[in-house]
């Protein structure tokens, strides 16, 4: 085998070479060598995670112009992505699938050889004139059953800086690990940049995931969801590994809910982007363990989970002191924060929904901005992008859960799924059992798509467990394994469905306030601990008015009327049946080999709805169900 380490000596300074040589894993040497050989950087900077190096990376992000520190509060910087790189890009994100293998039609794939040729071509000499930054990190706590080692090579100081805030440092772990330790490898290049340090070749943006070598290639982009290999890109690799080994890699927030007498119950939740995931994890008085991705394992019969990240890349729109006090406080205090795609004016960041009047001019992701500015298609440019974000380390949050780095993770008492559903599901309900909850709330998750993916706002779609875009194995297999996972646990988490977006069918008004989710979370915590009973409805167990009313008073200081309760928890039979029809049509079209258990659960749900409708009409009040 080629001596990659020796070959790297020619490309690195002594100091950087020593850092690589201290790692015994020859796979690392090979990966770094191949990335450098392909992209041809002027030099290589190896980060061994010392405070000096970390500070250097942050400083270089500013010196290079990828970030600017022209904000009033110390520690704050901002970065802009190009106008065509403001969200995850589904169309150009593909799994490289070897000839003869195939995943479902619904998953974006390209034949491996063809994809490799294309992406290698685009990466060729992409780092000329630039530095390749090499970073090591781990997904999940170090020294844990959950740990996955990761290597990143990028030419973006902003990306390398973001990695620092979002992930656990891994150089030491790599140094101590054996020669053959498996790791995920990512190669990113922002490609050609313009004067504003923004990738210009957006038509040549490609994000390809090669699961045969656990490698991610990402070129001609900067948006963190596209450029940082460890968000949804390595998630695709993790899903394959998880399903091979009998665990789950999920698009989960995880929160610690504080119950009476110091009791704490952990609940995980999957939501498509911009459907309330972070704001649920961040509810005041509770603790946040994870906001985006969790790994879940059966450890001695118990369902345990970790946050694979240690920072937050969160949506900033609508963060205001009233609705999100915890995060608002952080964003307006000194401390290390990267703002992206906000409006900058008077050395301050501004965003949509911050509950103050925005300035009429400033600088944003399109350059100089003024009210009324239009883009090349004639559409008005908003002051800040809807998908503008903030990046912070999680430990700066006062409500960060103390178990964040527990190598054993936390025990999950419940799992919840929620989408943007205006018409059918009640605000909160509990599945009859694991299978019912997983199928009817998770696998049947349907949502109005939002702005976090490019060009997809405002259409209805099925988004299985809010992870469909990232599933990298046949969908039938994914669902089958998920169901099996629960069956093997001695203590199965309760499964809930939530819907923060239910509307009055006549007036079109939302039936719930932004904060009501806190009451649902507290109710779930009580259900998990057998504190309250529930009403059996055709679609799941729903809360009793008597249990919600005191929660509304205690938590939100709000008088919850019976009338509101009935409106929110009335079972809408025909809307639920219509949803079932859409879900089944999707499965017929996309998952021909779907496990029969899913069909059974859906059939039973339909039968319950039809029967209840025949008996009680199309809209069934919870009071009727109690009789
Ligand atoms: C999401 O959009 O689901 C995110 C942000 O968590 S990212 O996937 O990184 O774009
Ligand atoms: Mn996400």
What ligand has the least distance to the C-alpha of 253?
2
Ligand 1 nearest atom to the CA of residue 466, by list position? 3
What's the order of all strands across the beta sheet hosting 337-340? 76-79, 337-340, 389-393, 311-315
pLDDT at 10: 86
- Dihedral over alpha carbons 38, 41, 47, 53 (to 10 degrees): -160
Span 48-53, average pLDDT: 98
User: What tokens were used for 180?
Assistant: 């053959």
Span 201-229, average pLDDT: 98
pLDDT in tens, 162-205: 999 999 999 999 999 989 999 999 999 999 999 999 999 999 99
Mean pLDDT (the chain, rounded): 96
Indicate whether 450 pLDDT > 70: no
Residues 6+ apart with CB under 8 A from 167: 137, 138, 139, 150, 230, 309, 310, 311
Which of these, 210, 240, 249, lies nearest to 94 by C-alpha position? 210
Cα–ligand 1 centroid distance for 457 (angstroms): 15
Which of these, 317, 565, 547, 318, lies nearest to 427 by C-alpha position? 565
Which of these, 192, 208, 205, 199, lies nearest to 79 by C-alpha position? 199
As a 3-state breakdown, the chain gives helix, strand, coil percent values, each rounded to 5, of 35, 25, 40
pLDDT in tens, 389-435: 999 999 999 999 999 999 999 999 999 999 999 999 999 999 999 99
Paired sense of beta strands 109-111 and 93-97, if any:
parallel
* Band (456; pLDDT cuts 50, 70, 90): very low
Indicate whether 455 pLDDT > 80: no
Three-class DSSP labels, 137-195: EEECCCCCCCCEEEEEEECCHHHHHHHHHHCEECHHHHHHCCCCCCEEEEEEECCCECC
CB atoms within 10 A of CB 615: 9
Span 475-485, average pLDDT: 97
Helix (H, G, I), strand (E, B) or coil at 588: helix
Which helix (DSSP H) or strand (DSSP E) does residue 219 occupy?
A: strand 215-219
Which of these, 234, 251, 256, 114, lies nearest to 183 by C-alpha position? 234
pLDDT at 457: 46
CATH superfamily, with its number, for domain 4-66+87-230: Phosphoenolpyruvate Carboxykinase, domain 1 (3.40.449.10)
Paired sense of beta strands 206-210 and 535-537, if any:
unpaired
Per domain, the residue ranges of the chain are 4-66+87-230, 249-308+404-626, 313-396
Ligand 1 nearest atom to the CA of residue 223, by list position? 10
What ligand has the least distance to the C-alpha of 312?
1
Ligand 1 nearest atom to the CA of residue 251, by list position? 3
pLDDT in tens, 367-387: 999 999 999 999 999 999 999
Residue keyed to tokens 């340090």 = 197
225 lines ligand 1 (CB under 6 A): yes
pLDDT at 59: 98
Angle, alpha carbons 461-462-463 (nearest 5°)? 110
* Band (273; pLDDT cuts 50, 70, 90): confident
Residue keyed to tokens 């949509």 = 352
Distance, CA of 38 to CA of 32 (rounded, Å): 10
Indicate whether 73 pLDDT > 90: yes
Helix (H, G, I), strand (E, B) or coil at 338: strand
477-510 exposure pattern, b = at least 16 Cβ within 10 A, e = fewer: bbbbbbbebbeebeebbbbbbbbbbbeeeeeeee
Q: Which residues are paired to 572 by β-bridges?
A: 619
pTM beyond 0.85, yes or no:
yes
Outline where DSSP puts E strands in 261-326.
264-270, 287-290, 294-299, 302-307, 311-315
pLDDT at 458: 54
CA distance to 11, 67, 126, 186, 427, per residue, from 42 (Å): 8, 21, 11, 19, 56
420 with 276: CB under 8 angstroms?
Answer: no
Which of these, 18, 68, 96, 108, lies nearest to 470 by C-alpha position? 108
pLDDT at 186: 98
pLDDT in tens, 25-44: 999 999 999 999 999 999 99
**Domain 313-396 bears CATH identifier 2.170.8.10:** yes
274 with 452: CB under 8 angstroms?
Answer: yes
Span 542-546, average pLDDT: 98
pLDDT in tens, 128-144: 999 999 999 999 999 99
What ligand has the least distance to the C-alpha of 232?
1
Radius of gyration of the chain (CA): 24
Which of 238, 269, 452 maximizes ligand 1 atoms within 8 Å of its Cβ, making it the mutation to test the pocket?
A: 452
Cα–ligand 1 centroid distance for 430 (angstroms): 27
Q: Which of 99-113, 205-219, 259-273, 576-590 has the lowest mean pLDDT?
A: 99-113
Distance, CA of 401 to CA of 288 (rounded, Å): 5
236 lines ligand 1 (CB under 6 A): no
* Band (103; pLDDT cuts 50, 70, 90): confident
Indicate whether 452 pLDDT > 60: no
Distance, CA of 564 to CA of 449 (rounded, Å): 27
Cα–ligand 2 centroid distance for 292 (angstroms): 5
292 lines ligand 1 (CB under 6 A): yes
Which numeric CATH code is attached to 249-308+404-626? 3.90.228.20
* Band (245; pLDDT cuts 50, 70, 90): very high
* Band (531; pLDDT cuts 50, 70, 90): very high
Outline where DSSP puts E strands in 317-409.
337-340, 343-345, 348-350, 361-364, 367-370, 389-393
Distance, CA of 362 to CA of 371 (rounded, Å): 9
Ion ligand 2 — residues with CB under 5 Å? 292
538 lines ligand 1 (CB under 6 A): no
Span 510-522, average pLDDT: 96
Distance, CA of 347 to CA of 499 (rounded, Å): 38
By percentage, how much of the chain surpasses pLDDT 90?
93
Ligand 1 nearest atom to the CA of residue 231, by list position? 9
């Amino acid at each position: 085998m080629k001596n990659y380490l020796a070959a790297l000596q020619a490309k690195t300074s002594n100091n950087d070479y020593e850092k690589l040589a201290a790692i015994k894993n020859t796979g690392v040497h090979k990966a770094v060598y191949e990335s450098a050989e392909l992209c041809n950087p002027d030099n290589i900077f190896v980060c061994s995670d010392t405070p000096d190096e970390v500070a250097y990376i942050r400083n270089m992000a500013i010196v290079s112009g990828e970030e600017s520190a022209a904000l009033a509060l110390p520690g704050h910087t901002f970065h802009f992505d190009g106008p065509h790189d403001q969200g995850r890009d589904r169309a150009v994100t593909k799994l490289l699938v070897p000839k003869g293998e195939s995943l479902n039609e619904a998953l974006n794939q390209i034949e491996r050889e063809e994809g490799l040729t294309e992406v290698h071509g685009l990466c060729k000499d992409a780092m000329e004139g630039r530095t390749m930054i090499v970073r090591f990190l781990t997904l999940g706590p170090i020294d844990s059953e959950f740990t996955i080692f990761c290597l990143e090579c990028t030419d973006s100081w902003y990306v390398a800086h973001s990695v620092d805030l979002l992930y656990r440092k891994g150089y030491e772990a790599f140094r101590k690990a054996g020669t053959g330790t498996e790791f995920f490898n990512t190669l990113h290049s922002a490609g050609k940049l313009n004067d504003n340090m923004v990738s210009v070749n957006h038509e040549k943006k490609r994000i390809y995931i090669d699961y045969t070598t656990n490698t991610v290639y990402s070129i001609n982009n900067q948006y963190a969801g596209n450029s940082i290999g460890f968000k949804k890109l390595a998630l695709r690799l993790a899903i394959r590994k998880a399903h091979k080994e009998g665990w789950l890699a999920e698009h989960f927030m995880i929160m610690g809910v504080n119950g009476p007498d110091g009791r704490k119950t952990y609940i995980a939740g999957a939501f498509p982007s911009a459907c309330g995931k972070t704001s649920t994890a961040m509810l005041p008085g509770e603790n946040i363990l994870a906001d985006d991705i969790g790994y879940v394992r059966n450890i001695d019969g118990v369902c345990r989970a970790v946050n694979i990240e240690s920072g937050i890349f969160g949506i900033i729109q609508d963060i205001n002191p009233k609705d999100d006090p915890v995060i608002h406080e952080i964003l307006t205090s000194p401390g290390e924060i990267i703002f992206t795609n906000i409006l900058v004016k008077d050395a301050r960041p501004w965003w949509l929904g911050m509950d103050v009047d925005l300035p009429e001019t400033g600088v944003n992701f399109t350059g100089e901005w003024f009210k009324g500015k239009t883009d090349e298609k004639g559409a008005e440019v908003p002051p800040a992008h809807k998908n503008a974000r903030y990046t912070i380390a999680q430990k700066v949050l006062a409500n960060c859960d103390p178990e964040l780095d527990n190598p054993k993770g936390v025990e999950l008492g419940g799992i919840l799924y929620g989408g943007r559903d205006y018409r059918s599901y009640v605000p909160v309900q509990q599945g009859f059992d694991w299978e019912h909850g997983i199928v009817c709330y998770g696998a049947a998750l349907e949502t109005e798509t939002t702005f976090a993916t490019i060009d997809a706002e405002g259409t209805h779609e099925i988004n299985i467990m809010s992870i469909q875009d990232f599933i990298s194995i046949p969908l039938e297999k994914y669902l089958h394994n998920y169901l099996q996972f629960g069956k093997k646990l001695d203590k199965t988490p309760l499964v809930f469905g939530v819907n923060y977006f239910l509307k009055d069918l006549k007036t079109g008004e939302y039936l719930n306030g932004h904060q009501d989710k806190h009451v649902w979370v507290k109710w779930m915590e009580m259900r998990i601990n057998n504190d309250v009973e529930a009403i059996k409805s055709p679609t799941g167990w729903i809360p009793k008015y008597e249990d919600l009313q005191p929660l509304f008073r205690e938590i939100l200081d709000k008088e919850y009327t019976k009338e509101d309760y009935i409106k929110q928890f009335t079972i809408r039979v025909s809307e639920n049946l219509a949803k079932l029809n859409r879900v089944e049509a999707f499965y017929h079209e996309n998952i021909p080999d779907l496990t029969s258990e899913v069909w059974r659960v859906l059939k039973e749900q339909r039968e319950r709805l039809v029967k209840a409708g025949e008996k009680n009409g199309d809209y069934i009040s919870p009071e009727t169900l109690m009789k």
